[in-house]
Structure 1
């Protein structure tokens, strides 16, 4: 949480402060929220709500300068809510904020007017969402760890030394200095911390930031959980070698981070979003957009991008205010987490019989869209997070990711919350529930949702049976003609179809022809149509390409299944068990003439051969390919799934998102954000026509 001022007009949507009484109340609310956050890692407000409140206070103070209250948070580090007992050798300030490219441009122009020249270079780095600390080293050994506090003095948290990854107890050289940075929890560390905390009877943390703040301050706990440090500054201490002190004071920010990394300190340079140095305001905005585009893929939280004058001379010329340096600013990103209320839990049954809980939320605006539902994964997830109906919950959403509940905000409970009732019988059919796995399942399995299961199998990206939509499947099931997928191929007759309502000779013959065509679909489509848990279109293609035949797939044990890219130990076990459960259906489909081989694929050389088989040879071998936009030319009639199949037949790996690991982007007409992201990462681009030439031998 950061107390923030802006440098231009404040956007709409801020709380209305109509008079001095409303202003005074807003100041009190902001102080309470800041105190709860900085002192205990909790708050009644999420970051976005706090930012909007403080920005409204700033607007009011700008319009009524004679009414500014002495305890206003707008000119104080940590909102003026905390005090420390360990003095900082140099004030440890906060950052002012901007919220758009236009605001940054205005801020940059103001900075250049202040220093009387253009800024020589800009450093652009992720704004890590954690707790700022100062780590003091004496002759290379970490001796003290201090929080930012009120900027002039902080809290001694040296008891946490040794528990923070990336903050070594001993540097690679015996230097005396202070390393400043951010302590946070990665997504994996946060999940582990909540598991350990709830096992010891504590309430789960609401989010990784609060978890890091609370854990760093905690003393005398019966357990420890890991945290991660990222450095963002170096400065001399009393006792620092004079030559080194001069170097630290004169070095550019980028050079300081290189020194820190060389001494063993963790910095963003080791991540997908290392700090970069650019020379123009336009380049800064481009880098901000690039980092923002990677936000959802990062293993840790960021709530913005820090932009600072890179050179020490420019920083000295700009100076600092009472709460923030004038040479650096935080470019804040839209909030991806908000606090809202859990109203209900729905229990939905999927096509394979999986019973999945879904949270019903009080509608909340997150990252540009209204969120009313969130995933809860499984009953064990609900229990582990300690959720209750009526809880205020922290909801997280980033990019296209389905919103999820991170944890209840336990300190906001009123006592009116209620236990969540788990179903005693299948919500779909009333049968018993298999609770032996974390994901509960109807004892009838696929037969619970027979219509959905068969309609899925008949879909365009599976067996592509034209004329067999949801309504027709319902008709077949209700007439007793189909009780499982194989019935479509070894029991259903033309005469039976003609006996159904609204089934004339033409529609019957068309459906029979579509069923005949489905027999020629490749193994990957058949495997996908079976709806094996733990697989989908992409994974079914990978499995089929690896083993080449259904016999090869069925002969694989869990160890062999793990050799397929993307399959871990747990998923491998589930897939093998599912295939055994589907044995009768597979046998019947094979007997009915459906293809049980994958064109162009060859089996592994030997059972114990860990290498991907020769099927992956081809013009795209070793390449990760993303397709975006509308295809044209020879590719015009291909669906996105067919494009992905083509990529994998040609030896590549298909993906739906652009990242630094992407090798090639096929950019069709209307390619937008993915193309821009690929260009910013320097990823190779191809038009549909160029790509068609590359894979011509596999178009068939």
Structure 2
């Protein structure tokens, strides 16, 4: 939806868009200043910039005589460099809906007198570059600039993955594409920057501008990745063998892959050749559903005519080709204002900061609160109250603060006050670790810890609600979670509004909770670094609490999802919880996991069996039925969505996860290309549609129950 602006607002909008574009393309004095500040970010986020440009375009359509030369509808966003491009390096116009895409297709088909064949590929969220090769050797690397002239950044080539110094064939050509930071490279880049006393980048797209421009003088190297999207023969001034100038676009991309250049076809996103606009739309929908799982940033899809004859006939405007269009996805990151930092105390005593921001619509929902890093990271990032911050919400991930736009500061920002004492109990804070913790530990937030332990997904003691927990703690009857199993009828009857019937119900449920599987007890203990899923994995791997307590960090690293950083924390936590565990054991709480046989163990004849090519390793749960173990022996990844029906109607989400893992599978919350099966009752859910687009098998709750009949 666009708006026709009054003239004064139109002129201001053009100035704002041009300023933002200068930062976006990493050029100009403003960008240099931002690079010096180690932020290199746009003044506007993508969604706001796109909306501003649409308003500018609508205003110019209504008042063509108002149009100014610097309008973003007329020029490419960056400033000119010293190197002239071999052909104008244009940007693409945008559409934002299926209806707009269909309208563009109709216009192009009319211009060509036929419907073209399309190539559809991801729109990478980085910076455009042109790479010139002579006789197979990389000789020059140029930024987009203003589309006619760009800046020579050949010095940055060694840091760019996917752009080889030498091609596999001695061809003379130009490769155009996008340089970016993948998710892994972005994380590594910020670790490097922090280690070198530099401020972290706000997000991958803006970070690549700082990485590219700063690589000439920086003492450390930040790896980046290049994905090519076009092949051009260079003019005769560059001697050498040239590729066929009349290659279809898809054939040119295939040739680049053969030459050793990374392309969208070789990326996790892939490309598609579409004979119809409907087929192109199917790819776009599939790409959007896979967006969060690609491991790199994309902000849309690009649709291009495959035939060079079609592209030539369609032609170009002054700033954009008519044979291609960008389909922009809904923004998964937006700029907003950091209004407050709230310090919270978790049930283990860990103190964490949480951001309250000016409400902003991002990733399909209005975000008011977002996750922040630990206190030490806050200090390193230099965040301040009043900062313009980037909020990211990709896929179904909890919104988080990516960083501050340092260049947008007005001088009115204020430092974030760190707590002097525990926000919950006013006790001392242990600041010796990355995550601060109240020195009282679990005692500080005992009511939360006990309420969590008695919840349905842990010991499932329904009658021990929040009010009763508060009474038990306040009266000194419960000093840790194990004390729940030592409560007597006499103690309960001494509490306010507690009769014999209610007391009997509590004691019955407490007694029943003693037989819960080890995974539930491990979850109830609230070991830092674990949750429900991790507790189930640990319980099935070790089978008994005795084995878990005896395990060292190296043993824990053998459990799926536990790395060298998390393992020592778990060991330390178990040592701290040893007295509580002993009280649970004395109370008769189960310390074993049903169906689990423990860590893989070899028999005494293992060496002889190895020589014979036999596998004598016994896996956890091998003795039980494993209908979700795949043909290759690996667990099937199962996603459950919606309310269960039929035999599974009473199962909670956690109980479904437990069932899946007992059956030899792996429970997951998000549908991706790695999903083996979706269990869904609602055919209209987003996960159902995503599974359909990816070709993931789908079963109803009744069908899934039949598959796992032996375990129900």
Per the shorter chain, which TM-score range? over 0.9
**Matching of residue 118 in structure 1 with residue 118 in structure 2:** no
- 1:190 CA displacement: 2.3
SS at match of 2:656: helix
Q: CA deviation at 1:243?
A: 7.6
Farther off after superposition, 523-532 or 370-379: 370-379
Q: Residues 285-364 of structure 1: matches in 2 within 5 Å?
A: 285-364=281-360
Alignment counterpart, residue 383 of structure 1, candidates 375, 379, 383? 379
**What is the CA distance between 1:670 and its match in structure 2?**
4.9
- Is 1:660 equivalent to 2:673 in the alignment? yes
Q: Of 493, 496, 502, which residue of structure 1 is paired with 2:491?
A: 496
Please tell me whether the aligned partners of residues 204 and 386 of structure 1 are also in contact (alpha carbons under 8 angstroms).
no
Q: Does 1:52 align with 2:51?
A: yes
Aligned residue for 2:87? 90
Unaligned runs of 5+ in 2: 32-39, 607-615, 630-634
Q: Deviations over 1:482-510 (max 9, x none)?
A: 11111111x21011111211111211111
Q: Alpha-carbon deviation of 1:367? A: 2.7
Deviations 1:577-601, CA, capped at 9 Å, x for gaps: 1111111111111111111111111
Rounded Cα–Cα distance in structure 1 between residues aligned with 2:356 and 2:703: 47
The separation in 1 between residues aligned to 2:112 and 2:618, in whole angstroms, is: 59
Structure 2 equivalent of residue 618 of structure 1: 626
Task: Deviation per CA, 1:373-408: give whole Å up to 9, x if none.
Answer: 221120122022121222222222223212211111
Q: Does residue 703 of structure 2 align to residue 690 of structure 1?
A: yes
Structure 1 stretch 633-642 or stretch 267-276: which is displaced more?
267-276
- Deviations 1:300-351, CA, capped at 9 Å, x for gaps: 2111111112232322222222211111111011122222222221110001
Contact 1:560–1:607, Cα closer than 8 Å, also in 2: no
Q: Distance in 2 between matches of 1:49 and 1:287?
A: 26
* Pairing 1:270-281 to 2, within 5 Å after superposition: 270-281=266-277
Q: Distance in 2 between matches of 1:565 and 1:612?
A: 17
Q: 1:569 to 1:331 in 2, by over 3 A?
A: same
- Determine if contact 2:120/2:301 at 8 Å carries over to the other structure: yes
Is the contact between residue 120 and residue 272 of structure 2 (CA under 8 Å) also seen in structure 1?
Answer: yes
Partner of 2:22: 35
What's 2:37 paired with? none
Structure 1 gap ranges (5+): 1-10
1:527 and 2:522 aligned: yes
Distance 1:439 1:253, change over 3 A: same
Q: Write the mapping of 1:189-228 to structure 2, written as runs, cut at 5 A.
A: 189-218=185-214, 219-228=216-225
Assess if the C-alpha contact under 8 Å between 1:543 and 1:564 holds in 2. yes
- What per-residue deviation string (whole Å, max 9, x for no partner) do you get for residues 415-462 of structure 1? 232222222221111121122221111111111100000000000111
Distance in 2 of aligned mates of 1:64 and 1:591: 83
CA separation in 1, counterparts of 2:204 and 2:543?
43
Greater displacement, 56-65 / 387-396 = 387-396
**Alpha-carbon separation, structure 2, partners of 1:312 and 1:151:** 21
Q: How well do the aligned residues superpose, as a CA RMSD in angstroms?
A: 2.0
Cα distance in 2 for partners of 1:448, 1:525 equals 23
How far has the Cα of 1:191 moved from its partner?
A: 3.1
For 2:548, the equivalent position in structure 1 comes to: 553
Query: In the TM superposition, what is the alpha-carbon distance from 1:275 to its structure 2 partner?
Result: 0.9
**How big is the shift at 1:109?**
0.7
Cα distance in 2 between the residues matched to 1:21 and 1:534 = 56
Distance, in Å, in 2 between the alignment partners of 1:414 and 1:22 is 22
* Mapped partners of 1:685, 1:191: distance in 2: 35
Please list, as runs of the form range in 1=range in 2, the aligned pairs for 1:106-505 lying within 5 A after superposition. Answer: 106-119=103-116, 121-218=117-214, 219-238=216-235, 244-246=242-244, 249-489=245-485, 491-505=486-500
Q: Aligned with 1:400: secondary structure?
A: coil
Cα distance in 2 for residues equivalent to 1:439 and 1:184: 31
Runs of 4+ deviating beyond 6 Å: 240-243, 607-612
57-66 or 630-639: which moved more?
630-639
Relative to structure 1, is the Cα distance of residues 530 and 203 closer, same or farther in structure 2, using a 3 angstrom cutoff? closer
Q: Distance in 2 between matches of 1:202 and 1:417?
A: 20
The answer to whether the 8 Å contact 1:343/1:389 transfers is yes
Alignment-derived partner of residue 632 in structure 2: none
User: Aligned with 1:370: secondary structure?
Assistant: strand
| 1:63 and 2:50 aligned | no
Assess if the C-alpha contact under 8 Å between 1:629 and 1:671 holds in 2: no
Deviation at 1:200, TM superposition (A): 4.3
Q: Where does residue 633 of structure 1 map in the other structure?
A: 646
What CA deviation, in whole Å up to 9, does each residue of 1:528-547 have, x standing for no partner? 01111111111111111111
- Looking at structure 1, the residues matched to 280 and 354 of structure 2 have their Cα atoms a distance apart, in angstroms, of 40
Determine whether 1:590 maps to 2:585: yes
Structure 1 counterpart SS, 2:299? strand
Preserved contact between residue 167 and residue 229 of structure 1 (Cα < 8 Å): yes
Structure 1 586/271 Cα, relative in aligned 2: closer, same or farther at 3 Å? farther
- CA shift, 1:681, in A, is 1.0
TM-score by length of 1: 0.93
Q: Are positions 1:25 and 2:12 aligned together? A: yes
| Aligned residue number for residue 576 of structure 1 | 571
**Inter-CA distance 555–357: structure 2 relative to 1 (3 Å threshold):** same
Greater mean alpha carbon deviation, residues 198-207 or residues 237-246? 237-246
User: Does 533-542 or 598-607 show the bigger shift?
Assistant: 598-607
State whether residues 173 and 242 of structure 2, in contact with CA within 8 Å, keep that contact through their aligned partners in structure 1.
no
